[in-house]
Amino acid sequence: MIEVAVYDTKSYDREYLGTAAGAEQVAWRFHDFRLSAETASAAKGAQAVCVFVNDHADRACLESLAALDVKLIALRCAGHNNVDLAAARALGLAVVRVPAYSPHAVAEHTVGLLLTLNRKIHRAYNRVRELNFSLNGLVGFDIRGKTVGIIGTGKIGRITAQIFRGFEARVLTYDPFPSSDWAKTLGIEYTDMDSLLAQSDIISLHVPLMPDTLHLLNTQTIGRTKRGVFIVNTSRGKLISTTALIAALKSGHVGGVALDVYEEEEGIFFQDLSGQVLLDDELSHLLMFPNVLVTSHQAFLTHEALSEIARVTTRNILTMATGEPFLEGTTL
Residue 13 Cβ vs ligand NAD, minimum distance, rounded to whole Å: 14
Reduce the DSSP state of residue 231 to 3 states and report it: strand
Identified binder of ligand NAD from the candidate list 31, 119, 127, 155, rule CB under 6 A: 155
Window 226-255: residues binding ligand NAD (CB under 6 A): 234-236
Applying CB under 6 A, which part among 40-48, 59-67, 205-213, 278-286 lies near ligand NAD?
205-213
CB 77 within 8 A of CB 98: yes
CB 200 within 8 A of CB 229: yes
- C-alpha–C-alpha distance, residues 75 and 12, integer Å: 16
Residue 330 Cβ vs ligand NAD, minimum distance, rounded to whole Å: 13
SS3 content of the chain, % helix, strand, coil (to 5): 40, 15, 45
- C-alpha–C-alpha distance, residues 154 and 207, integer Å: 8
Identified binder of ligand NAD from the candidate list 22, 36, 42, 79, rule CB under 6 A: 79
Window 276-315: residues binding ligand NAD (CB under 6 A): 297, 299-300
Residues noted as catalytic: 236, 265, 297
Identified binder of ligand NAD from the candidate list 175, 201, 263, 308, rule CB under 6 A: 175
- C-alpha–C-alpha distance, residues 328 and 319, integer Å: 12
Residue 276 Cβ vs ligand NAD, minimum distance, rounded to whole Å: 24
Q: Does 206 bind ligand NAD (CB under 6 A)?
A: yes
Applying CB under 6 A, which part among 140-148, 204-212, 250-258, 320-328 lies near ligand NAD?
204-212
- C-alpha–C-alpha distance, residues 296 and 234, integer Å: 10
Residue 138 Cβ vs ligand NAD, minimum distance, rounded to whole Å: 27
Q: What is the DSSP letter of 239?
A: G
* Nearer to ligand NAD (CB atom), residue 26 or residue 239: 239
Residue 88, judged by CB atoms within 10 A of its CB (0-12, 13-18, 19+), counts as buried
Window 101-120: residues binding ligand NAD (CB under 6 A): 103, 106
- C-alpha–C-alpha distance, residues 309 and 298, integer Å: 14
* Nearer to ligand NAD (CB atom), residue 22 or residue 81: 81
At how many degrees (to 10) do helices 103-119 and 303-322 cross? 150
Reduce the DSSP state of residue 117 to 3 states and report it: helix
* Nearer to ligand NAD (CB atom), residue 77 or residue 320: 77
Applying CB under 6 A, which part among 146-154, 220-228, 263-271, 283-291 lies near ligand NAD?
146-154
- C-alpha–C-alpha distance, residues 292 and 217, integer Å: 16
Q: Kindly list the residues in this chain that would bind ligand NAD in the complex (CB under 6 A).
A: 78-79, 103, 106, 151-157, 174-177, 206-209, 212-213, 234-236, 260-261, 297, 299-300
